[in-house]
Each structure stands twice: as C-alpha cells, then as structure tokens.
Amino acid sequence: MAEHKLTTPLSDEDVKKLKAGDTVFLNGTIYTGRDAAHKRLVELIKKGEPLPVDFKGQVIYYVGPAPAKPGQAIGSAGPTTSYRMDPYAPALIEKGLKGMIGKGPRGEDVVEAMKKHCAVYLAATGGAAALIAKSVTKCEVIAYEDLGAEAIRKMEVKDMPLIVAQDCHGGNQFAEGVKQYEKT
C-alpha cells in the first residue's frame, strides 16, 4: 500500500494513481460542506445558477467543526458519516469535484460518478477530531454563514492524514478490508 503526498487542486493523474488502501497526506486548500450546505448547492445546480465555489479540481471535507478556542485555527474537526451526502455528491462530481473526505462507505451512484469523472473518496479517522484539527492551519467561512457548524469553510491543510477508501477504478477498501479479515 503506497503513500502519497498530494496538493490541491487535484488533476485526473493525481486521482488515477490512488488505490484503495493507500495512505494520503493532503496539502493545500480544501472546502467543508455537509448535509444542509449540499442541499443548497444541488438546488443551485438544478436551477442552473452559479455556485459559491468553483469545485473544479477541488476537495470537499464532510465536517462540521467544533468552535475554535482562542488561539486555535479551528476547533476539533473530524469527518462526519458520508452516506448522507450520497444523494448530492454525483451532481458535484459532474461539476469537477475531484475528492471527498468523510467516514463510512459510499453508495453505487457515487461510485459510478467517481469512475466516470475520475474522483476519489478519502477516509479520515472518525472521532480523531482533535488530532485532525492540528493539520488545519487556516480556516474561514466563505458561504452559508447562517448554517453555523454546517457553513461552507475554506481551509488550508498541512499533511492531513487520510486513507484512500474508494478509488476511481472501483477499488473499495471497506469491502476488501472486511473480506480480508472476516472469519467464517
């Protein structure tokens, strides 16, 4: 299982070399978004209106951080469960989104969109929120401030520790990992 150091924005070549089970240390700008923000983004796409962020080559982190203490760039910031974003993700992938970060497996529609448009799904460790926050150097709300923890944030990350959970070739570490360690 390979280790990759990546910097956003991601190209098709960056995504294609990632295989399920690989480790990634992610650098650069990423955006946050979860249930409520995704609902609004997809409503805009349906209406044909412009999005608050151009997602071409970008990565969305499914997170609603805790409030920052004085002196912190961000409060504890671990991933939320990704399947809740499955109804919205394909529309964003079509708009050029290259990566998603969350926890737990994705559904068939998302997998198909990832294969078709070359995108990757990365897992962060759920519940390791204080540790992950240490890799965030900057964070600001850029859209939907009224959503509070669910607002869209732009953040800078340095060596954010991730695992390739589902790759653009159909590889799925959830399925493969369980198969490998299952005892019947």
Q: Identify which of residues 96 and 149 has a Cβ nearer to other proteins in the complex.
A: 149
99 part of the interface to other proteins, by CB under 8 A: no
For the chain, where are the E strands, in sequence order?
3-7, 23-32, 59-61, 99-102, 120-123, 136-143, 152-166
* Cα 32 from Cα 41, distance rounded (Å): 12
* 4: annotated active-site residue: no
Measured CA to CA, the distance from residue 166 to residue 81 in angstroms comes to 14
Measured between alpha carbons, how far is 138 from 134 in angstroms, rounded to an integer? 10
Q: Provide the mask over 32-51, with x wherever binding to other proteins is found by CB under 8 A and - wherever it is not.
A: ----x---------------
Tell me whether residue 67 or residue 170 sits nearer to other proteins (CB atom): 67
Question: Quick check: 66 binds other proteins (CB under 8 A)?
Answer: yes
- Minimum distance of other proteins from residue 10's CB (angstroms): 21
* 1: its two tokens: 């299982």
Residue 145, classified by CB atoms within 10 Å of its CB into exposed (0-12), middle (13-18) or buried (19+), is: exposed
Applying CB under 8 A, the residues found at the interface with other proteins are: 1, 21, 23, 36, 63-69, 72, 75-78, 80-81, 83, 103-105, 123, 125-131, 133-134, 147-149, 161, 163, 165, 173-174, 176-184
Name the residues annotated as catalytic: 38
